[in-house]
Structure 1
Amino acid sequence: MKVPEAEPAVRAWRDRLDPSARAGVPAHVTVLFPFLDESRIHSDTCAAIDEVIRRHRPFEARFESCGRFPGILYLAPEPDALFRRLTEAIADRWPETPPFGGQFEDIVPHLTIAQGQDDDLLEETEADLRSRLPITARVSSVDLMVHDGSRWQQRASFRLR
């Protein structure tokens, strides 16, 4: 889900420290990755995604703090349960696409700022971001992004009801 409200605070850091930003991905909270191969995405797939997404209501989320995975800095959304429910709903519909390939037991919704960076740079980035928080965002749609081999492109957008 795109989080355009976060762009002023995170764009410069993401452009520098997050390879997905350089590949065309805006500030976002991932619903499900990896998803179906693009060859399996057609009108019936989009209709099924729309059906799942429409079961959920728009909501507001606040990004008040940062979190870390090894080598990764992210903004943590609250409430995170609403993001988690969207992930679970899509993953339940397409069980062959578990979140992050099934690598992790828990779903941790997050807005990635930096990937593959050393701790000193993550500390500097986090200190700057803390001065720009909180960020409040309205979540009203989920975007389907596809990769063309070098860049990510939005293929479709689905509105929460």
Structure 2
Amino acid sequence: MDQSAQSVLGDATESAVVLLVPDAEPLVDPHRQQFDVSASWGVPAHLSLIYPFVTPRQVDDAVLTGLADLLAAESPFDCTFTKTAWFGDEMLYLVPEPDEPFRRLTRIVAEAFPDHPPYRGAHGDPVPHLSIGQRRQGDLAGLEQAQEVLCAAMPLRTRIDTAALYAGTREAGSWQQVCTFPLGRPTR
């Protein structure tokens, strides 16, 4: 593990394995900055595979190599975001289509790290989603307005080809990328 990864992990209290969606940033970032706590932490547009993941002090070369090998065995894939959806009236998100590649990657990582199920197992088979915001970070009217803007700008087509390990605390600006994992490309 390189020095910069060790530095990020040294101050962190949590970690997450995410699929990065940089093509979504121009569309979602203004809304995420206002309504999504993970954006305030410093995590870019993403779909979570495993959150929370191993504690930062448990991240070592074996964990990083294990993740790299798992993810290199999976091919990059295309997806389209054509609509928004809600978890109740509390959280607005973008729906990826198809969702099976996201579900498969979540299962693969969860099976390899069974002590760290997605969302601590609270949601069974989690719904793949790109979070836009939580009502507790703003208000319902603001999220509904964001939804209108997002729906008018879709569809958003993108290629998912990179996963990343992020770590930080629950403080603003504290999350940083520990390392990336290209899909479909061996690291050795």
Place the TM-score, normalised by the shorter chain, in its bin: over 0.9
For residues 87 and 170 of structure 2, the distance between their equivalents in structure 1, rounded to whole angstroms, comes to: 26
Aligned-CA RMSD value: 1.2
Task: Name the counterpart of 1:16.
Answer: 34
Q: CA deviation at 1:120?
A: 2.3
Q: CA deviation at 1:105?
A: 2.0
Task: Name the counterpart of 1:119.
Answer: 140
Percent identity, aligned pairs only, is 35
Q: For 2:100, give the aligned amino acid.
A: A
- TM-score, normalization: structure 2? 0.82
Task: Name the counterpart of 2:105.
Answer: 86
Q: CA deviation at 1:118?
A: 3.7
Q: CA deviation at 1:149?
A: 5.5
1:157 aligned onto 2:180: yes
1:59 aligned onto 2:54: no
Q: For 1:127, give the aligned amino acid.
A: E
Q: Which runs of 5+ in 2 are unaligned?
A: 1-18
For residues 51 and 124 of structure 2, the distance between their equivalents in structure 1, rounded to whole angstroms, comes to: 14
1:102 aligned onto 2:160: no
Task: Name the counterpart of 1:130.
Answer: 151
Task: Name the counterpart of 2:15.
Answer: none
Task: Name the counterpart of 1:29.
Answer: 47
Deviation track 1:78-111 (CA, whole Å, cap 9, x = no partner) reads 1110011000000000111111111112220100
Misfit runs of 4+, over 3 Å: none
Q: CA deviation at 1:121?
A: 2.3
Which one of the candidate residues 46, 54, 60 is aligned to 1:42?
Answer: 60
For residues 169 and 87 of structure 2, the distance between their equivalents in structure 1, rounded to whole angstroms, comes to: 27
Aligned length: 161
- 1:136-155 equivalent positions in 2, closer than 5 A: 136-148=157-169, 150=171, 151-155=174-178
Secondary structure (helix, strand or coil) at the match of 2:49 reads: coil
Q: Which moved more, 1:117-126 or 1:149-158?
A: 117-126
Q: Which runs of 5+ in 1 are unaligned?
A: none
For residues 8 and 158 of structure 1, the distance between their equivalents in structure 2, rounded to whole angstroms, comes to: 23
